[in-house]
Structure 1
């Protein structure tokens, strides 16, 4: 027993849908900071490549605007303030496209893994987060060591790529000093763009490794013990005793509702000992007879008791009773194969009703009611 209890505590089961949903509500979903970094670097690099000439032109215009000023402007406080305001405005405007891309990257980078999530529970303050002992445990945990190894590996990889770029572009960078200023600036921007693209490509490789790791870690945290799965199933579906009691109450309610329909019947056909069925037929509103109630044993006896109390005609036809009982659901029309047999019963009931009212002759009791072979049940 002790071994079973120990093994039951091992988290070997995959998280259920409810567990995943609850974890998401608590803000516990896989996230990759490396993916966010990659998005930001790529957005910044693409922004500089696309909008670089536009930004350079705007900044050059700002420099020209601020250095090519008249003498009286220098000594005017209002004019200098206007220059500063205009420079800030145009400088910010020139950088807005890149800022916009970085903003989009900062939004879509985090939701690239795990999707969009806003959880107030994740932002709620927790005393455990301010516990220094818990903080020390997190600092020296396996996860912290893995994060440290990832950071060192990323730094070393980026340094290796950066050194490689410097070696490859060494001659191109040295030649910048021999070029015209405009050409040198253009080539230096191009070399910087190549370096930024290379560094962004490195972060793509790091993110490709980090994303599966984060998914694995999150799934590992959410794994459940067998007992937790059983408890969740009980909470979700209800305890067997409760479910059994609910089904019993539902059956009792359905039976009471069925018994309340018996007084509306035109005839009750019996087995006579085991089965009873109550039929209703209104030529003005029904196409075919409808089954109002049916039952076996005690329920069958109760149906007959209610029928006698309300002076409803009771007829014995074992084969027809079993056929209706086994083939027809409550409040449903009888099968087409039983039309002729039920018609014989109803014809006798309606003729007997007229006879008792003093109209017509007494009908003969239908003793040979024929039921098709495919509708015969033992």
Structure 2
């Protein structure tokens, strides 16, 4: 990615972006941490398993050499010798090797949770392209890694010199000592070297992990447009959601208007509010079948006039019902008396008109 493209990534990554990176196998990983765990494993092997490994191999080789004259030199004899030697070596180093593998895995698991991804195994032309390879070799990251490697070699070399220099007289005379004495001394010197290197590499690994974590987080940052696009994908396009909401309101309004002709009365605050109420024998309480303000109220009144639905002006009641009840909801008990007076008046007017028509 070019510096110009990276400079546009000013927004912190979302959780979805981080999860997607994990699924791709793109994680913050420091090779120095894995190296440190491997060194710890090597130190444990030397400290704990070295005597048993030496003893097992020593006894096995002593038995082979002591009975070497009995070993047949034909194909079968050689196969049996190699098989027995292999089993002996496996018995000696099998458990230490398993510990080393576990620590190597731990070096990755302490940096990030377990990831199984085949993304990096997919064939890509950029991996075999000479131009892409040259860019990787001569990139800024490669230069930093090369410089870091030189500094690490120099630091480890200096540390080894500082540990071994006081022992220079003992090292000069070591070749003249008995083998039985050389092995314990070699083990002791190795442990001192490994301990010093592990202490140094702990600081290197911690610093490198923080740097790799910072680089990974910067790589995951997003542009403002990417944040907007992800929000649209997860929450839905606001324009589309607004249009859907508008369509639903229009459909609901059409259903509401279709119910106005079935109303018993329309209570209005002459121009601002209109509430259509329906009451029939057997109903517990009057039901609101339509309500609205301004243009919707005007439409309700027009439909009511066209269908001979009585329109009663009662501003306080119209405002209260419009604020407190919803469509298809029964009138609250505290408004029974006021609504009953309106409906009673309408029914009396209807009965009087019917009697006159006779």
TM-score normalised to the size of structure 2? 0.77
Name the CA distance, whole Å, in 2 between partners of 1:193 and 1:19.
Answer: 45
Summarize deviations over 1:1-38 as a string: whole Å, max 9, x none: xxxxxx99842513431444444444433221111111
Q: How far off is 1:281 after superposition? A: 8.0
| Other-structure match for 1:63 | 61
Name the CA distance, whole Å, in 2 between partners of 1:117 and 1:194.
Answer: 36
Q: How far off is 1:153 after superposition? A: 0.8
| Other-structure match for 2:146 | 148
CA contact under 8 A between 2:264 and 2:278: conserved in structure 1? yes
CA contact under 8 A between 1:269 and 1:277: conserved in structure 2? yes
CA contact under 8 A between 2:33 and 2:107: conserved in structure 1? yes
CA contact under 8 A between 2:46 and 2:187: conserved in structure 1? no
Q: CA RMSD in A?
A: 4.1
CA contact under 8 A between 1:176 and 1:188: conserved in structure 2? no
| Other-structure match for 1:213 | 211
Name the CA distance, whole Å, in 2 between partners of 1:178 and 1:281.
Answer: 117
Where do residues 31-50 of structure 1 align in structure 2 (5 Å cutoff)? 31-50=29-48
Name the CA distance, whole Å, in 1 between partners of 2:280 and 2:167.
Answer: 98
Q: Structure 1 residues 70-79 or 220-229, which shifts more?
A: 70-79
Structure 2 residue corresponding to 1:14, chosen from 11, 23, 35: 11
- Structure 2 gap segments, 5+ residues each: none
| Other-structure match for 2:161 | 163
Name the CA distance, whole Å, in 1 between partners of 2:165 and 2:24.
Answer: 49
Name the CA distance, whole Å, in 1 between partners of 2:87 and 2:8.
Answer: 59
| Other-structure match for 1:342 | 336
Summarize deviations over 1:284-310 as a string: whole Å, max 9, x none: 997x77655421123234445666788
CA contact under 8 A between 1:9 and 1:227: conserved in structure 2? no
Structure 2 residue corresponding to 1:321, chosen from 303, 318, 332: 318
Where do residues 359-370 of structure 1 align in structure 2 (5 Å cutoff)? none
Summarize deviations over 1:310-353 as a string: whole Å, max 9, x none: 8877644321221122234455666xxx6332344247648977
CA contact under 8 A between 1:9 and 1:226: conserved in structure 2? no
Name the CA distance, whole Å, in 2 between partners of 1:307 and 1:52.
Answer: 100
Name the CA distance, whole Å, in 2 between partners of 1:142 and 1:273.
Answer: 74
For the pair 1:29 / 2:23, whether they are aligned, the reply is no
TM-score normalised to the size of structure 1? 0.73
CA contact under 8 A between 1:27 and 1:122: conserved in structure 2? yes
Question: Quick check: which one's helix share is greater?
Answer: 2
Quick one: structure 1 residues 83 and 348, their matched pair in 2 at CA, closer, same or farther if it must change by over 3 Å?
Answer: same
Quick one: structure 1 residues 11 and 167, their matched pair in 2 at CA, closer, same or farther if it must change by over 3 Å?
Answer: same
CA contact under 8 A between 1:8 and 1:227: conserved in structure 2? no
- Structure 1 gap segments, 5+ residues each: 1-6, 363-378
Name the CA distance, whole Å, in 2 between partners of 1:190 and 1:26.
Answer: 45
The residue matched to 1:41 in structure 2 has which SS? helix
The residue matched to 2:292 in structure 1 has which SS? strand
Name the CA distance, whole Å, in 2 between partners of 1:267 and 1:41.
Answer: 89
Summarize deviations over 1:210-242 as a string: whole Å, max 9, x none: 112212222333444445545555666555544
| Other-structure match for 1:196 | 194
Name the CA distance, whole Å, in 1 between partners of 2:37 and 2:17.
Answer: 30
Name the CA distance, whole Å, in 2 between partners of 1:144 and 1:8.
Answer: 20
CA contact under 8 A between 1:281 and 1:289: conserved in structure 2? yes
Where do residues 218-367 of structure 1 align in structure 2 (5 Å cutoff)? 218-230=216-228, 233=231, 241-259=239-257, 268-278=266-276, 291-304=288-301, 315-330=312-327, 339-346=333-340, 349=343
Report how many aligned residue pairs link the two structures: 349
Summarize deviations over 1:150-200 as a string: whole Å, max 9, x none: 111111111111111211343554575676644442332232122222222
Quick one: structure 1 residues 74 and 266, their matched pair in 2 at CA, closer, same or farther if it must change by over 3 Å?
Answer: farther
